[in-house]
Each structure stands twice: as structure tokens, then as C-alpha cells.
Amino acid sequence: MFVAMVIAGILTVICAAGVIASSRPIHSALFLIVTLFLVAVHFALLGAHFVAAIQILVYAGAIMVLVVFVIMLLGAEANAEGGKLGSWGQLALAIVTGGFVAVLTSGIGKGSATGLAKGALAPPDGSAEAVSLALFTNFALPFNVTGMLLLASLIGSVLLASEARRALAPGRGLKAMQDRYQRMREEELEKEEQSVGDG
């Protein structure tokens, strides 16, 4: 059990490093899917079986499919990275982050709460039955509020991403967008030609 935890933990950290280090977003997304699966493994090892199942269904399934879909939809332009940090900037950020890890982990295992019950309490029953019982009794109001939140986000994302509303406004439709894209491409070509001419 402990061996499995440590191995899965090391793999999780490696895959998380892959997420932030990959140069292409699609590679980041694939690394993140593996990371989410490994976190589900951790949940299962901790006895949270319902949460592990939801993690795979909702995160690795629904959310990551959405992310990969958007990456594919945007095409090659999704690879744009903009300005890059210099090596000094990256080094400084790495040091700051390492310090943050040190600060966050410095208190672990020292407080009275950690010494409270080392193995004294039985791990909770994380089955679907137990968690849903808690959801529908003690947490009934938050559960319903969450439903409203999902409805609001659904309407909001449809409004944000829909083409129909924009197509009515002048200069915002699909045709105008294609024209603008064409113009941008032509300007870039002109620039390149000028630079070639200068050189």
C-alpha cells in the first residue's frame, strides 16, 4: 500500500512537470490526463472510492475532452506561446516556487492536529452510498446551489461562445472574421517581403 502510494506520488509529480514543461498544449493536455488518473489512484488508495470514480468520469472524461476539443478547434494558432521568459527569469521563478514549497511543507507533521490520531481513527467509508447520504442530508442546500451554478455557467458559456449573437452585429460575423484574418495574413506577407527586400 505505502509502496503503491510512493510510486504513484512520484509518477504524479513527473507528469505534473510534463504539463508545465511541454512546448505544445496538446502534450500538456495528455500529461494532465495522466496526472488526473494518478490522482484518482491516490483517491482510491485513500479509500475515497466514490470520489475516485467521479474524478475519472468528470475530470479525465468530461473536462479534458473539452480542453482537447478546444485545442483541436483552434488548430495551429493554439501553439502560440508569445514572449518567452529569459533563463534568469525562469531561475528566479523556480527559486521562488521552491521557497513556497518549503514554506508550505514546513509545518507538516509538527502541529497538534497531526499528532491527534495517528491511525487511531478508522478511515471513513468513501463508498457512493455514504457520500450520497451526506450530500442529500447535511449538504442538501449546497448541493442545490451547485445545480444553479452549473445552470448559470452553461448559459454563460453558450452566450460567450455562440456565433449567432455576434453574426447580427456589423463587423462581427463569420465573413468579417475571415476578411480580417485574410488582411492580417496579407500584411504579414508584405512585411516579410519588405524584410527580404531590405536584406
Nearest to 26 by CA among 80, 78, 96: 78
When binding is defined by CB under 8 A, the residue of 7, 72, 94, 140 that contacts other proteins is 94
Distance CA 138, CA 132 (A): 10
Q: What is the C-alpha separation between 87 and 90, in angstroms, rounded?
A: 5
Measured from the CB atom, the residue of 150 and 189 that comes closer to other proteins is 150
Residue 40: exposed, middle, or buried by beta-carbon count in 10 A (0-12, 13-18, 19+)?
buried
Distance of alpha carbon 196 from alpha carbon 193, whole angstroms? 5
Report the residue number, 106 or 196, with the smaller CB distance to other proteins. 106
> For residue 16, what are the contacts with CB-CB under 8 A and spacing of at least 6?
31, 35
Question: Scanning residues 13 to 72, which ones bind other proteins (CB under 8 A)?
Answer: 13, 16-17, 19-20, 25, 28-29, 32, 35-36, 39, 42-43, 46-48, 50-51, 54-55, 58-59, 62-63, 66-67, 70-71
Select the residue interacting with other proteins from 86, 88, 141, 160 (CB under 8 A): 160
| Cell representation of residue 160 | 460567450
Pairwise CA distance, residues 7 & 10, whole Å: 5
- Under rule CB under 8 A, which residues in 67-86 are in contact with other proteins? 67, 70-71, 73-74, 77-85
Looking at 87, 105, 112, 195, which residue binds other proteins (CB under 8 A)?
105
Select 23 or 199, whichever has its Cβ closest to other proteins: 23
All cell numbers assigned to 54: 467521479
Size of the site for other proteins (CB under 8 A): 88
Residues numbered 140 to 159 that lie near other proteins (CB under 8 A) are 142, 146, 149-150, 152-154, 156-158
- What is the C-alpha to C-alpha distance for residues 65 and 72, in angstroms, rounded to an integer? 10
Report the site for other proteins in 111-130 (rule: CB under 8 A). 114, 116-118, 121-126, 130
By beta-carbon proximity to other proteins, the closer residue of 75 and 197 is 75
